[in-house]
């Protein structure tokens, strides 16, 4: 189904954009990223479940509650990143990965290497950010 990625392979501008090897490279990068994020969520879940123990000291209790809230926020942020990774994997399945959702133009290898979940070109992203201000 997908072409195997040779060890040490890095996409370059000297090959056709989003060829099967590049797609396989980014798919694997996204799958690895997703696995790391899921492990992080599991680690946070274990911490949060262990934090159910009440501290006898009010200062320790406040600190434990703060840590729990911080962990819950971190878990939510990590889940949002997993959702972005899943959307990128869906774009691969739909044969539209690497192309801007707004313009249809190539996002570019440098941007995808830095942010594999990118769905917009730099220009489209900047336009959206300016429009939000």
10 lies in a domain?
no
Number of domains in the chain: 1
pLDDT, tens digit (0-9, with 9 covering 90-100), for 80-123: 999 999 999 999 999 999 999 999 999 999 999 999 999 999 99
Query: DSSP secondary structure string, 56-110?
Result: SSHHHHHHHHHHHHHHHHHHHHHHHHHHHHHHHHHHHHTT-TTB-TTT-SB--HH
| Residue ranges making up the domain that contains 42 | 20-132
14 lies in a domain?
no
pTM of the model: 0.84
* Residues facing residue 62 across a β-bridge: none
pLDDT at res. 64: 77
Cα 133 to chain centroid, rounded: 25
30 lies in a domain?
yes
pLDDT at 51 over 60: no
On average, the pLDDT of the chain sits at: 90
The CATH number of whichever domain residue 80 belongs to comes to 1.20.120.910
């Amino acid at each position: 189904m997908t072409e195997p990625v040779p060890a040490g392979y890095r996409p370059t501008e000297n090959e056709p954009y989003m060829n099967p090897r590049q797609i396989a490279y980014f798919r694997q990068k996204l799958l690895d990223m997703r696995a790391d994020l899921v492990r992080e969520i599991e680690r946070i879940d274990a911490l949060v479940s262990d934090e159910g123990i009440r501290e006898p000291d009010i200062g320790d209790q406040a600190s434990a509650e703060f840590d729990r809230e911080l962990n819950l926020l971190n878990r939510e942020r990590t889940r949002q990143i997993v959702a972005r990774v899943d959307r990128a994997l869906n774009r691969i399945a739909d044969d539209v990965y690497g192309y801007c959702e707004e313009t249809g133009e190539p996002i570019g290898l440098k941007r995808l290497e830095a942010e594999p979940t990118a769905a917009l070109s730099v220009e489209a992203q900047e336009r959206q950010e300016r429009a939000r201000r």
